[in-house]
């Protein structure tokens, strides 16, 4: 398994992601510059968090047109794996690899803190082995993380088990009080119909090392290896 982490101008979680995959999970990882036209044989492409292009226009709106995204989109269409984390989630939505949009947080403030999330399905590479009764503690850091889509798409996401994670409290209760940004139905992550493109707002790579006092994010990232490696 070869991972590629795309670096856009303004990305700031690329090194965190590389470290988590390479050091904590022992995987082969390379960085892919946004002007590249070649994925260099990567099996799994990750679009990391950050503020690509300064979040001008809309978060992810400019990055969607970076040259590397042509290759990422074709990779996804061929069935290759793509995951967007935070700003990366915004980018894959802008590229129409995932449905919906990420809007400004309901309180119009940047949020940076630990939250809890709960896996909603085992019918996904990213959640296959996770305990659906457990609340996983993972950091968030975003100003535009409020997931929104139309009613028909929302029904489809629920009916087809494309909702991967929902925000919850420490006891695993999914409630309005546990929703940090106003996301529709507490949605924290989704996948596409083909289940090869994933997007989530929380940062598992920031909770993947014992030195950080939290390895819940590592458990999420490990799901990929449990199925594919």
On the 0-12 / 13-18 / 19+ scale of CB atoms within 10 A, 191 is buried
Residue closest to 117 by CA, chosen among 164, 163, 167, 176: 167
Candidates 42, 86, 93, 191; catalytic one? 86
Candidates 94, 144, 205, 222; catalytic one? 205
| Whether 210 is catalytic | no
| Whether 23 is catalytic | no
Residue closest to 83 by CA, chosen among 179, 24, 17, 36: 17
Q: How far apart are the first and last CA of the chain?
A: 6
Q: How far is the CA of 128 from the CAs of 25, 46, 161, 220, 222, in angstroms?
A: 18, 19, 12, 9, 10
| Whether 205 is catalytic | yes
Q: Hey, which residues are catalytic here?
A: 86, 203, 205
């Amino acid at each position: 398994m070869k991972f590629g982490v795309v670096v856009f101008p303004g990305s700031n979680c690329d090194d965190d992601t590389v470290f988590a995959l390479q050091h904590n999970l022992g995987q082969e990882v390379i960085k892919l510059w946004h002007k590249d036209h070649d994925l260099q044989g990567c099996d799994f492409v990750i679009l990391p968090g950050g503020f690509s292009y300064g979040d001008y226009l809309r978060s992810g709106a400019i990055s969607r047109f970076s040259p590397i995204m042509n290759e990422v989109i074709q990779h996804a269409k061929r069935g290759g794996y793509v995951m967007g984390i935070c700003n990366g989630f915004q980018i894959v939505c802008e590229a129409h690899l995932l449905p919906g949009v990420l809007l400004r947080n309901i309180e119009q403030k940047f949020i940076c803190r630990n939250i809890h999330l709960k896996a909603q399905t085992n019918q996904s590479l990213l959640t296959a082995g996770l305990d659906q009764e457990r609340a996983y503690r993972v950091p968030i850091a975003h100003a535009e993380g409020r997931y929104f889509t139309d009613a028909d798409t929302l029904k489809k996401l629920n009916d087809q088990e494309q909702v991967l994670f929902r925000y919850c409290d420490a006891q695993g209760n999914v409630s309005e009080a546990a929703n940090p940004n106003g996301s529709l139905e507490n949605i924290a992550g989704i996948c596409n119909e083909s289940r090869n493109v994933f997007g989530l707002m929380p940062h598992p790579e920031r909770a993947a090392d014992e030195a950080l006092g939290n390895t819940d994010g590592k458990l999420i990232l490990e799901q990929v290896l449990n199925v594919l490696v």
